Amino acid sequence: MSASTARLEARISTDLHALLKRAAEIEGRTMTDFVISAVHEAAQRALEQHAMVRLSLADQEQLAEALLAPPAPSPAMARAFERRARLLDTR
């Protein structure tokens, strides 16, 4: 079974090319392997940071309070719970 691949091309300055080449040599890797690894790590980091929710201390406290002592459901929410219970009632 062969893995499918895609090609990525980029125009970079000669200075950046030299920097990447030197960094790859220091790590004993090909430039392609070095760049793919670096881009992969950067993409994962960007996705993780995007998925992470950061709250201030005050917001953390407010969230904890709401989780520990949630407010009573509003009338609309109570009606939604009732509809849900009727829809899911399989007796």
User: Tell me, what's the pLDDT at 73?
Assistant: 93
CA 74, 78, 83 angle in degrees (round to 5)?
145
Q: How far is CA 1 from the centre of its chain?
A: 30
Place of tokens 């091309």: 9
Using alpha carbons, select from 21, 52, 56 the residue that is nearest to residue 35.
21
The average pLDDT across 52-73 equals 93
Using alpha carbons, select from 73, 72, 55, 74 the residue that is nearest to residue 63.
55
Mean pLDDT estimate for the chain: 93
User: Tell me, what's the pLDDT at 43?
Assistant: 97
Confidence of residue 3 (pLDDT cuts 50, 70, 90): confident
Question: Does 10 have pLDDT greater than 80?
Answer: yes
Place of tokens 């719970």: 81
The whole-model pTM stands at 0.58
Encode 42-71: b = buried (16+ Cβ within 10 Å), e = exposed.
eeeeeeeeeeeeeeeeeeeeeeeeeeeeee
pLDDT digits (tens, 9 = 90+) for 14-44: 999 999 999 999 999 999 999 999 999 999 9
